[in-house]
Every structure is written in structure tokens, then in C-alpha cells.
């Protein structure tokens, strides 16, 4: 097996992708020779269990009579009968109580650059320790991580148990400044995110999550207390765009307003899909809403679509469409607009909105140079919003 470095590793174990010895090899490298037995469990997911037994009671639900429970975590507010699960596949009614099935059971763990989230104004050039599980409360037909998000924990498996404390300890030991919850939506593994975030805050580790933003207000506000930065996907600015995800736009806009008022750093992503959400009118209405409700300084990333999952019949987003979206956003007054999933494009870098100087040069997810000093443009002194230290 090829040797891995201590600073950059990959253990992305799904379903039958790992054997116990393979997991042990990776964990011993990650923990600098520590034994796998230091973690709570060594189940690998090589043979996914027939049915996961619930261990952690869920937050934000209420009893609804007749043995049913009503989940109050996201906009769906699933009514879950005894023995059944909610739409996200991760929350199960057992004995009239709602349980999460993926607590401490990540199916994907990786170290990524923070630019991959994407975050351009949050500790640029640093790394994040990322966690994801099975399940999601959306059904995006274009999802690149469908093998996680559109499956249950039994189908995906989890290679071992990593508690919230162990997750934070790993970040501290490896001097990784941020833990991130991503790959699938953190709404679907909320309790794991929440408990990890609280421990991370006490340990001085930053917390970031990437979400579709369809929380109900109360759980969102509670999680934001322990969060440093958020990336929210805007699937489009029409019901047609959200039909593609079997979801709705309004709950996302409500969440964005809550995050905007919270003081937590926020960046937005709009994946432009040909024929689905790429009309100039829709893009203009979205940009106008962002400026009017969140302000002109919110970074907006236009990302290029590549055929995936159930939309493999569609072409990649034309570069001209992305550049037109950039032009519209700039015309509407948004000051920090970038183009992503297009390595080498000039607009993947950050520019000063006052003098036009290039502040952060990027090639895809790699930061080549960062000229921001004390949160300001070194050329004209314009204050650049973000988290820089």
C-alpha cells in the first residue's frame, strides 16, 4: 500500500471499501501510531449491519399521539410512525421516541483545504477536518455525493465509531484549525454536529458546516451559537430549481436571514445547471435578494455543473453562462463574486472591490498568494470582510 503523509491523508471508506487491517493502517498513521482501540469501536462497515440499533435520542421533536413523533428539525417536519424513519433516513421512531442512527458513525472523514467548501474569506490556505454520514433531507438529482446522501446507514456503512470528543481531539492533535460538516447535509446528522461543535468551541477549534439551509429556526439558532462559518447552497431562485431537490426555496431564504443576523460568517454557493436554474432573470432576482437581505459583502460562488447522478444527460455549464452570471451579480452590486469548479479561471481569485487589486490568488483550491493584511487591502486600505486570523 502506498505510504501517506501525516499532514494530508484520505480515508474515505464507504460500504465494502475497507477491511479492518486497512482501517487500522490509516488510523495509526493519522494518530501518529496510536492504536485503533483508543477509539470506542472498530466496526469497519466492510459488512454493513442488517439494521443499525439507535443509541442517541434526537433533538427537536415532539410526541404526536398514537405512538407517532413529529420531527421539528427541518422544514419537512416528518410525522414518523413507530418503527419508521423520517425522509432523511437517519431519524427513527423507536418506542415512541425519535433517535438518530448516525451519531458518532461518520461514513466519510477527510482533510480538505477550506477553499473546497467553498470558503474564500475564512482562514484562506488552511485545512479542515471534514465529516459526513449517510442520508440527507434533500433528493438532489445532480448530487455528486449521492453514494452517501441518497442512501441509508445500512447501505453505506460506517467504518468505525468516532465520538464528538475523538473528532475534536484529532483536529487538535494534528493542528487542524477547523472541523467541517459536509459531503451530506449536516441537518441529517444534527446531534453529532451539535455535540462536536460545542466541544470544539471549548477547545479553540473553529466550526464550519455546509448545508442546504432548510433548518427550522430554533435548531438553526441553537447550532449557530457554536459555529464560526457557514456555507449555504442556493439551488436556484425558483420553485423549479427546488423541485429538482424535492424541496422548497422559502425555508432556505428564512435560514439565510437568520444566519445573516447571527454574526456567523456566511458564504453562498449557486451551482448553475443548464436548463434548470441558468436563466439571466433568475440569477438577477437571486443576486438582488442577496444584496437587499444579506448585504453586498456576502461572497457568492457560481459553480460549474458537471453531469452526475440522475442528470448525466445534461452538459457541463458553459463558461459563458458562468461569466454572464458573474457580470449580473457585479451589476447588482455584489462585491465578492467568484467562479468555481473551473480551475485556472481568473475569477476564482479575490479582488478588492475598491481598487481592483488581486488580494488572494487561487488556482482551484490552492492559494498561491494572500496579500490581505490585518483584514485590509494593502493597496488602498479598504476593509475586507471575513475571518482572517
Read off the C-alpha cell for 47: 459488512
What is the rounded distance in angstroms from the CA atom of residue 284 to the CA atom of residue 37?
54
CA distance 71 to 222: 16
Mean pLDDT of 109-124: 98
C-alpha cell at 297: 459583502
* Predicted model pTM: 0.88
Phi, psi of 179 (to 5 degrees): -105, 140
3-state secondary structure of 340: strand
Residue 99, pLDDT above cutoff 80: yes
- Sheet hosting strand 68-71, strand order edge to edge: 61-65, 68-71, 79-80
Judged by DSSP in three states, 256 sits in: helix
Distance CA 259, CA 323 (A): 28
Q: Is the pLDDT of residue 41 over 50?
A: no
* CA–CA distance, 20 with 1 (Å, rounded to integer): 14
- Residue 54: predicted pLDDT: 87
Give, to the nearest 10 degrees, the angle between helix 164-173 and helix 190-203: 40
Taking alpha carbons only, the member of 60, 56, 18, 58 closest to residue 36 is 18
Question: Nearest CA to 75 among 273, 266, 290, 242?
Answer: 242
pLDDT tens digits for range 272-308:
999 999 999 999 999 999 999 999 999 999 999 999 9
Grade residue 52 by pLDDT with cuts at 50, 70 and 90.
confident
Q: Are 268 and 232 in contact (CB under 8 A)?
A: yes
DSSP-derived letter for residue 161 is -
Cβ atoms within 10 Å of 346's Cβ, excluding its own:
12
pLDDT tens for 4-13 read 444 444 433 3
pLDDT digits 0-9 by tens, 337-355: 999 999 999 999 999 999 9
Q: What pLDDT score does 295 carry?
A: 98
Residue appearing with cell numbers 442517541? 56
Q: Backbone phi, then psi, for 230, in 5-degree steps?
A: -135, 135
pLDDT over 70 percentage in the chain: 87
Q: Residue 55's pLDDT is what?
A: 87
Element (H, E) at 36: none
Looking only at the bridges linking them, the beta strands covering 178-181 and 206-211 are: parallel
Q: What is the pLDDT of residues 135-176, one digit of tens each?
A: 999 999 999 999 999 999 999 998 689 999 999 999 999 999
The mean per-residue pLDDT over the stretch 36-47 comes to: 30
- Return the pLDDT at 24: 35
pLDDT cut 90: percent of the chain above it = 85
Helix, strand and coil percent figures for the chain, each rounded to 5: 30, 25, 50
CB 358 within 8 A of CB 334: no
Which pLDDT score is estimated for 50? 63
C-alpha cell at 248: 422548497
Mean pLDDT of the chain: 89
Higher pLDDT, 289 or 33: 289
Q: Which domains does the chain have, with CATH numbers?
A: 56-100 (no CATH), 108-348 (3.20.20.70)
The pLDDT value recorded for residue 53 is 83
User: In a 3-state reduction of DSSP, which class is residue 20?
Assistant: helix
Burial (CB < 10 A; 0-12, 13-18, 19+), residue 149, is: buried
Give the DSSP letter string of 258-290: HHHHHT-EEEEEEEE-TTTS--HHHHHHHHHHH
Amino acid at each position: 500500500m502506498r505510504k501517506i503523509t501525516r499532514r494530508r491523508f484520505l480515508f474515505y471508506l464507504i460500504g465494502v471499501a475497507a477491511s479492518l487491517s486497512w482501517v487500522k493502517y490509516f488510523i495509526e498513521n493519522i494518530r501518529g501510531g496510536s492504536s485503533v482501540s483508543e477509539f470506542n469501536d472498530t466496526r469497519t462497515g466492510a459488512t454493513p449491519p442488517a439494521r443499525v440499533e439507535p443509541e442517541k435520542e434526537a433533538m427537536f421533536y415532539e410526541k404526536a399521539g398514537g405512538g407517532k413523533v413529529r420531527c421539528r428539525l427541518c422544514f419537512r417536519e416528518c410525522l414518523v410512525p413507530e418503527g419508521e424513519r423520517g425522509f432523511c433516513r437517519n431519524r427513527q421512531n423507536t418506542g415512541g421516541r425519535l433517535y438518530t442512527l448516525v451519531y458518532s458513525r461518520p461514513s466519510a472523514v477527510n482533510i480538505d483545504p477550506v477553499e473546497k467548501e467553498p470558503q474564500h474569506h475564512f482562514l484562506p490556505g488552511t485545512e479542515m477536518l471534514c465529516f459526513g454520514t449517510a442520508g440527507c433531507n434533500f433528493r438532489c438529482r445532480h448530487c455528486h455525493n449521492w453514494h452517501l446522501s441518497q442512501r441509508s446507514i445500512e447501505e453505506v456503512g460506517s467504518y468505525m465509531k468516532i465520538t464528538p470528543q475523538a473528532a475534536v481531539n484529532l483536529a487538535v492533535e494534528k493542528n487542524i484549525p477547523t472541523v467541517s460538516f459536509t459531503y451530506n447535509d449536516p441537518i441529517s446528522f444534527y446531534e453529532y454536529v451539535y455535540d462536536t461543535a460545542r466541544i470544539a468551541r471549548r477547545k479553540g477549534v473553529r466550526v464550519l458546516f455546509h448545508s442546504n439551509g432548510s433548518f427550522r429556526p430554533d435548531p438553526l439558532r441553537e447550532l449557530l451559537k457554536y459555529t464560526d462559518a457557514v456555507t449555504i447552497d442556493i439551488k436556484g431562485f425558483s420553485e423549479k430549481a427546488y423541485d429538482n431537490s424535492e424541496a422548497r426555496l422559502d425555508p432556505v431564504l428564512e435560514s439565510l436571514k437568520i444566519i445573516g443576523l447571527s454574526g456567523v460568517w456566511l458564504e453562498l454557493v449557486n451551482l448553475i445547471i443548464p436548463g434548470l436554474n441558468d436563466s439571466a432573470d433568475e440569477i438577477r432576482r437571486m443576486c438582488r435578494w442577496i444584496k437587499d437581505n444579506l448585504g453586498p459583502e456576502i461572497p457568492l460562488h457560481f459553480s460549474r455543473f458537471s453531469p452526475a447522478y440522475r442528470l448525466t444527460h445534461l452538459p457541463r455549464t458553459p463558461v459563458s453562462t458562468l461569466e454572464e452570471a458573474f457580470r449580473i451579480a457585479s451589476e447588482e452590486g455584489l462585491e465578492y463574486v467568484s467562479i468555481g469548479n473551473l480551475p485556472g479561471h481568473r475569477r476564482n481569485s479575490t479582488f478588492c472591490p475598491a481598487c481592483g487589486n488581486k488580494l488572494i490568488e487561487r488556482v482551484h483550491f490552492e492559494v498561491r498568494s494572500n496579500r490581505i493584511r490585518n483584514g485590509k487591502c494593502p493597496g488602498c486600505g479598504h476593509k475586507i470582510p471575513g475571518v482572517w486570523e
